[in-house]
């Protein structure tokens, strides 16, 4: 069974996932390449590229980070990651153009990777190639790594003890969505290395791709276990503080997520949002605002929109 992914803000969700867990994502799919990188030297530079490029080329890349090599060589390299959620035959050429522009701008070696969110009929993680030919003669070949998320086996990744593997299994086809969701939640919540905020984000990610309404194989036992797991996590005083209740912890986490995504996407928070965010005490209002933040393409798209049913509750 394949999870429903229509109308999902892939760019915003995956960009946030990569910003939080980039080393873990690369280690999961490209372990040999990940071991060649000193991850503690990682520096995101995609915003710098936005400033240096002309308008027509401004969105050069989803994620670009500068890292040092683990082999002791003095040269730094760039890791360039694109999240592809629409079927475009121009992808190989665009990846080459991105590579060429980055190479010219930064004068550094580049490791290019595509996270593919459409099924392509190939469950391998492998190099893809772009060729330029004249007649039968090939004059240039460019290669990049492609991870076909929608062709990998979701059940296998959901069953791992790796929280990032479990989270990304939500994007992959699986035979039992309900069991995959339960496995993912269990792995995320029981991981001792993640902060409560990180767990909330990963759970939000899995819920976005596997919403409860899509689980047609959800039996009573699975439903009870999911409900118990959720309640234990949200009410756990160690994770949300002895003086915080469930509602206060969720409100705080949602506001933090809204602020972080606004800053990542637009480098700023709209002037009237900070004060109003502080005053909101309704989860439904914050969920509506978060959806708006994820869908906005420009800072000018932002306005304080909430349903009329909840306007009075944020006054």
For the cut 50, the answer to whether the pLDDT of residue 153 exceeds it is yes
Residue 37 pLDDT grade (very low, low, confident, very high; cuts 50, 70, 90): very high
pLDDT at site 228 = 72
DSSP 111: E
**For position 241, what pLDDT does the model report?**
40
Is 95 or 269 the better-scoring residue by pLDDT? Answer: 95
Helix or strand or coil: residue 43?
Answer: strand
What average pLDDT does this structure show over 134-140? Answer: 91
**Residue from 304, 314, 311, 312 nearest 281 by CA:** 314
**235 vs 17, residue with greater confidence:** 17
- Burial 102-111, CB ≥16 within 10 A → b, else e: beebbeeebb
- Give the Cα separation of 123 and 97 in Å (integer): 26
Structure tokens at 104: 């010219």
As a whole number, mean pLDDT of residues 7-17 equals 73
Question: pLDDT band at 147, cuts 50/70/90?
Answer: very high
pLDDT at 8: 57
Q: Average of pLDDT values for 263-272?
A: 71
Q: Pick the more confident residue, 60 or 146.
A: 146
User: Over 60: is that where the pLDDT of 222 sits?
Assistant: yes
Q: How many CA atoms lie less than 13 Å away from 170 in the CB half-sphere?
A: 30
- Find the range with the poorest average confidence among 84-88, 153-157, 234-238, 248-252: 234-238
User: Considering only CA atoms, which of 59, 160, 147 is closest in space to residue 111?
Assistant: 147
Residues 65/78, Cβ–Cβ less than 8 Å: yes
- E-assigned strands of 70-186? 76-84, 109-116, 126-134, 137-148
Q: How confident is the model at residue 291 (pLDDT cuts 50, 70, 90)?
A: confident
Distance, in Å, from the CA atom of 131 to the CA atom of 141, rounded to the nearest integer, reads: 5
Mean pLDDT, residues 255-262: 75
* Whole-number pLDDT of residue 56: 46
Residue with the bigger pLDDT between 28 and 256: it is 28
Q: Which two tokens stand for residue 128?
A: 């893809």
Q: Is the pLDDT of residue 276 over 70?
A: yes
Question: Does 200 score more than 50 pLDDT?
Answer: yes
Q: Which residues pair with 113 in a beta bridge?
A: 81, 145
Per-residue buried b or exposed e for 33-42, using 16+ beta carbons within 10 Å of the residue's own CB: ebeebebeee
Contacts of the segment 307-310: beta carbons below 8 A, 24+ positions apart: 310/282, 310/284, 310/285
Mean pLDDT along residues 198-202: 84
- Tell me the average pLDDT across 121-144: 91
Give all strands of the β-sheet with 109-116 in edge-to-edge order.
37-44, 63-69, 76-84, 109-116, 137-148, 126-134
HSE-CB for 70 with a 13 A CA cutoff: 9
- Residue 106, pLDDT > 80, answer yes
Contact 181, 215 (CB under 8 A): yes
pLDDT mean over 53-60: 51
Specify the higher pLDDT residue, 151 or 300.
151
């Amino acid at each position: 069974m394949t999870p429903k992914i229509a109308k999902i803000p892939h760019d915003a969700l995956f960009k946030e996932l990569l910003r939080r867990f980039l080393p873990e994502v690369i280690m999961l799919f490209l372990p040999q390449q990940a071991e060649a990188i000193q991850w503690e030297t990682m520096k995101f530079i995609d915003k710098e590229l936005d400033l240096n490029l002309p308008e027509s080329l401004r969105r050069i890349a989803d994620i670009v980070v500068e890292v040092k090599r683990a082999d002791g060589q003095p040269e730094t390299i760039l890791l360039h990651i694109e999240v592809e959620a629409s079927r475009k035959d121009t992808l190989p050429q665009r990846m080459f153009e991105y590579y060429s522009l980055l190479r010219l701008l930064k004068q550094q070696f580049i490791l290019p990777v595509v996270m593919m969110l459409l099924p392509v009929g190939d469950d391998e993680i492998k190099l893809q190639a772009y060729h330029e030919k004249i007649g039968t003669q090939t004059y240039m070949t460019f290669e990049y790594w492609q991870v076909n998320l929608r062709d990998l086996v979701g059940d296998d990744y959901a069953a791992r003890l790796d929280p990032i593997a479990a989270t990304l299994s939500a994007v992959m086809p699986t035979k039992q969505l309900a069991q995959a969701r339960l496995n993912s939640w269990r792995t995320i919540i029981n991981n001792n290395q993640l902060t409560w905020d990180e767990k909330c984000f990963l759970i939000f990610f899995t819920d976005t791709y596997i919403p409860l309404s899509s689980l047609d194989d959800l039996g009573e036992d699975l439903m009870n276990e999911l409900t118990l797991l959720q309640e234990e996590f949200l009410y756990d005083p160690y994770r949300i503080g002895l003086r915080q209740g469930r509602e206060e912890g969720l409100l705080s986490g949602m506001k933090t997520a809204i602020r972080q995504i606004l800053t990542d996407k637009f480098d700023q928070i709209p002037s009237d949002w900070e004060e109003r965010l502080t005053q909101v005490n309704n989860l439904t209002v914050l969920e509506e605002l978060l959806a708006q933040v994820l869908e906005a393409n420009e800072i000018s798209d932002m306005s304080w929109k909430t349903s009329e049913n909840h306007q009075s509750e944020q006054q």
